[in-house]
Amino acid sequence: MPNRLNPYLSFRDNAREAMTFYQTVFGGKLDVMTFDQMAHDPSEKDNVMHAMLEAPNGMVLMGSDTPKSMPHSSGSAISVSLSGDDEALLHGYWDKLSQGAQIAVPLEKAPWGDSFGMLTDRFGTPWMVNIAAARQ
């Protein structure tokens, strides 16, 4: 198995909803494991201990809920960055992620020639999308 770096998102108690949403954005197979019998608080037994979305293009996104007994901070100094030169694909991701999102920078032509945008989706995850301009 090759080494890879992939985002692991932390939610308070809506990981299943968020990961299911991301599956509608990126496609692929979503596996979800709940706390079930391991939950200290029975009300959290259906919360997500680990979820992994494997998109058809090889992208992997993971996430989980944070038990009430553990600290959880919303927001992060890290953004998930999507980049490449497939304009239709990346613009499609942007359009889906922007549903209910706060747009910080609209997806438009940037000074460096690419199209770039930033948003925080409805689950609090910050995203950056960079569509490479055709190089001559």
Task: Kindly state the helix (H) or strand (E) to which residue 20 belongs, with its residue range.
Answer: helix 15-26
pLDDT score of 95 more than 90:
yes
Return the percentage of the chain with pLDDT > 90, whole number: 74
pTM of the model: 0.89
| Helix (H) and strand (E) counts in the chain | 2, 8
Please name every residue paired with 81 in a beta bridge, in sequence order, or none if there are none.
128
Average pLDDT over residues 106-135: 94
- Which residues, in sequence order, are CB contacts of 71 under 8 Å at separation 6+? none
| Domains in the chain: ranges and CATH | 8-65 (3.10.180.10), 80-131 (3.30.720.110)
Amino acid at 36: D
Mean pLDDT computed over 21-41: 91
Nearest to 51 by CA among 84, 92, 91, 23: 23
> Can you give the pLDDT at residue 76?
60
Residue 95 and residue 90: Cα distance in Å, rounded?
9
77-103 as b/e: b if 16+ CB within 10 A: eeebebeeeeeeebeebbeebbeebee
Is residue 38 over pLDDT 80? no
